[in-house]
Amino acid sequence: MAPALVVLTALLAYPVYQLGLISLLEYTQAQVSGGEPTTFRGLGNYAELFGDPQFWDVLLATVVFAAACVLGTLAVGCSLAVLLTRIRAVPRLLLMLAALGAWATPAVTGSTVWVFLFDAESGPVNRVLGLGDHSWTYGRYSAFFLVFLEVVWCSFPLVMVTTYAGIRAIPGEVLEAAALDGASVPRTWRSVMAPMLRPVLIVVTIQSVIWDFKIFTQIYVMTGGGGIAGQNLVLNVYAYQKAFASSQYSLGSAIGVVMLLILLGVTLVYLRLLRRRGAEL
């Protein structure tokens, strides 16, 4: 594994080092252009960041939105995985192709399509639902809901395919025994499939948490950079605005470090769960 570790170190370690370094400096447009010398602020940028009420509002919104996306993705992906085991070959193939098409669609393209579908003037969704010129991106919660739908749409295929592969690995005798005992589909999933699929579900859950916590493209495209007056900001978009819109590169880097530490904590929890699962086996 040494060659892979060398490549990963070269690609990841140096950028992370630079990110942490800039977060400790006074680094604005003046320093970038060389007009003023770079000064060391230590933890001053973090103190400024943690003292900003907007940061905590954005952090809370990010956590809640990411949690909703993870739960929605898992619910849709696992439900369709179970459905795949109960339909014939042709419908199964069509569903797989449709899901993989959604997964393969670039985030910018998918976000643009969803904005068109829910457009207040020409969107077909408003026409079908009879909502007139209702704007989905005007309100905070309706905009978050629209982005939530797009994120689940482009994320569930991986959960579906991974969970379906795990279900196919479950011995058929176990599922037959559950059916003979009169277990319904929800009860079979809850009492038989889910416990046996725990390692797979842990993997897709942690992956979903990481992806949804650092979401950027969907929010930026569908809400026009964070919504009206920043009402739909998440941490990644917030960091982008601080670094590039306001030229406060140090604060943007500090936000990036905070996100890195949070996701590192999630990864450590994931590794602990895997180790515990291995000890149980």
3-state class (DSSP) for residue 26: strand
**Position 106 in a domain:** yes
Of the candidates 266, 270, 275, 251, which has an alpha carbon nearest to the alpha carbon of residue 26?
251
172-189: average pLDDT = 84
This prediction's pTM: 0.89
Q: Domain limits at 158?
A: 52-233
Higher pLDDT, 55 or 184: 55
Count structural domains, the chain.
1
**Position 257 in a domain:** no
**Position 25 in a domain:** no
Asked whether 6 and 243 are in contact (CB, 8 A), the reply is: no
Say what the pLDDT of residue 199 is: 83
**pLDDT tier at 187, thresholds 50, 70, 90:** confident
**Position 265 in a domain:** no
**pLDDT tier at 279, thresholds 50, 70, 90:** low
> In the numeric block, which tokens belong to residue 33?
């252009």
Of the candidates 258, 267, 264, 202, which has an alpha carbon nearest to the alpha carbon of residue 62?
258
**Position 224 in a domain:** yes
CATH of the domain at 120: 1.10.3720.10
**Position 273 in a domain:** no
**Position 261 in a domain:** no
Say what the pLDDT of residue 175 is: 82
Say what the pLDDT of residue 99 is: 93
Q: At what angle do helices 198-213 and 53-84 cross, to 10 degrees?
A: 140
pLDDT in tens, 99-139: 999 999 999 999 999 999 999 888 899 989 888 888 999 99
**Position 41 in a domain:** no
Task: Indicate the helix (H) or strand (E) that contains 274.
Answer: helix 249-280
